Structure 1
């Protein structure tokens, strides 16, 4: 197998030769995603929550982007979908708060969501807020990675970077 000189080739071409790393990444990304969803889904009951789960989910996508390239990640998940998820998560969070106000409580007063059983309302409200936060945090982290990788890929050899 000839690895040759890779300085003149496109960015990330050295990573395409790392077969073991690519296989391990493909095998671990689904488990990281499942764990991230678990942390989000059970965040109101134990350690974790939307922020931590969102970061774990983003770590899976960022790992994929690091191993297979940011362009491949952009191809798999277009930036428009990432932006829509970011907005949807924030909208879900705000909607829960406004629904609480609509039912006569204060912003994020979860007990107002089900007035006949305040405990059920609190569980519902906290879960929905955790889902919104997780979706937003994941989308923001992936967007930051994609923006940094885009900036890095535009710097040519010999140019100075900040």
Structure 2
């Protein structure tokens, strides 16, 4: 896949970082505002997709990225399940219970374990959407051969 013009590349460089930071903001503030892990993960994936579209890449690099994003997706799912299982180990006795102390209402650290769940969901969604995009691009490139 070929890259685009120098103007598009420069704009993508500037915007992708801001979009990525906005996705992180949506994930970390998901328990306080509308949004959360899924919406933030979709925004994170969008910033990564923007870079691939602007700069292009050959199929070999895309296959390496696809493998890495697939591993990231699996690690996020495992982290999510470990957080849920940690409730059983802490003595709460219920799978997926909120076992961490709650902070002051409407503050960033005010929801116990829920922000950690949001982070894991955000990573999983971003990696899944990016993996799907890369798989489609790789398939398209292989059809051209």
Normalising by structure 1, what TM-score?
Answer: 0.75
Which residue of 2 is the match for residue 132 of structure 1?
A: 120
Whole-angstrom CA distance in 2 between matches of 1:106 and 1:73: 45
Contact in 1 for aligned 2:59/2:138 (Cα 8 Å): no
Indicate yes or no: 2:19 matched with 1:25: no
Which residue of 2 is the match for residue 123 of structure 1?
A: 111
- 1:70 is displaced (CA, Å) by 4.1
Which residue of 1 is the match for residue 85 of structure 2?
A: 98
Indicate yes or no: 2:47 matched with 1:60: yes
Contact in 1 for aligned 2:16/2:47 (Cα 8 Å): yes
Contact in 2 for aligned 1:38/1:53 (Cα 8 Å): yes
TM-aligned CA distance change 1:70 to 1:105, over 3 Å: farther
Q: Which runs of 5+ in 1 are unaligned?
A: 1-10, 158-162
Q: Which runs of 5+ in 2 are unaligned?
A: 104-108
RMSD after superposition:
2.4
Deviation beyond 4 Å, 4+ runs, structure 1: none
TM-aligned CA distance change 1:73 to 1:61, over 3 Å: farther
DSSP-derived class of the 2:44 partner: helix
Normalising by structure 2, what TM-score?
Answer: 0.83
Which residue of 2 is the match for residue 156 of structure 1?
A: 144
Which residue of 2 is the match for residue 83 of structure 1?
A: 70
Deviations 1:48-79 (A, max 9, x none): 1111100000000001111111439946x733
Whole-angstrom CA distance in 1 between matches of 2:67 and 2:112: 29
